[in-house]
A and B are shown apart, each in its own frame.
Chain A
Amino acid sequence: MRLGRVIGSLHCTKKYPALEGYKLLIVQPVDSSNNPEGMPLICVDTVDAGVEDVVYFVEARDASIPLKDPLTPSDATITGIIERIDTINRELYRK
């Protein structure tokens, strides 16, 4: 699982049937201090996240586990919205 910041959304009408009903979001992977890390990617959303939210997402084979049909083609799925990231005596992020 990795951290990411939602930077946009996208729509596609024609898609693989198992993906129907899911929202697709563009996510920029970030580190715990909110610095971007690597290329943005498209994630399937399961927690109703929105633009600017910091989220965590699960990748690879595990990405289709939280979806209704376990054979849904997804390689990145958002599984939670982050409210706060804190380390000792310091807050790194607050929603």
Chain B
Amino acid sequence: MATVATIGTSTLNEVSRIKYLKSMLELSLRSALVSEKICQVDRTEAKFIANPYITAMTAAISSTLGTYALTTQATTDDTCTVQDQVSSASHLFEFEETLSRADLYSSFVQEMTNAVAVKVDQFVLNKVLDGATGAYTCPSGGFSSTNIVEIMSNLISKVAGFAEMYKGLFLVIENTEIPGFAAAQVNSGFSYADAALNNGFMGSFMGVDIYVVRSGVFVTTTLGSLTATNSGHRLFGVKGVATYAAPRGVQYDEKKVTLITGREIACWANIGAKVWTPKASLLVDVTI
């Protein structure tokens, strides 16, 4: 529902001199969405995505014998289940839309779909972090400029040597860690430091893509079906090894409601995320 009293209440004298910047309302600040950059995304209409795995096999080496030994292999089910829903809804009365000089409907839908996408992003990041089995604790001082190189070196070593590493590495930090990173980048020397000094914060450091989310994305609280204990933690890993399922992506619907003018607008997304068991060590839970 719009509080339209604050829109277009200018006096007649002012109205003739007012120019609206846009046909829509100005929307709130938008957070960067990261999860699609680091996960494999599935938008098919599946509730379950099954990905059974096999135990790791090893090969024996010996002098030429002509014989061999058998080992038993086991398979295990692993499933990504879509069981959470993110929603945002409101009602827009007919008089609000008609009497407003801005396009309230478009403004509502854009704002709500963005809110849904941001919450989905937070859920996925926290869910993937919860499933990460790699672990690293930063030295005292966390992501300070003097620690950055040591931290990045250690994080890279956690996944180095696995073939998947060449899919690309990522680190998700919150904006409060930028001061340490920015200082490390401009002080790192030579052409890289020059580039950082000229262009500002670099989205890549030591071959790792750095994604920045707003403070408060990694949380210790209940997020739908997830009991997240991630405050003070960040996520590092190999891109594309976790799966995030959002059947049909963000959807919206507008409907007439009996006895009320205008339309009810609802936006929602159904989501699930999974870190596949054999690949879980390619994702590292970074404790600050």
A binds B: no
**A interface residues with partner B (beta carbon < 8 Å):** none
**B interface residues with partner A (beta carbon < 8 Å):** none
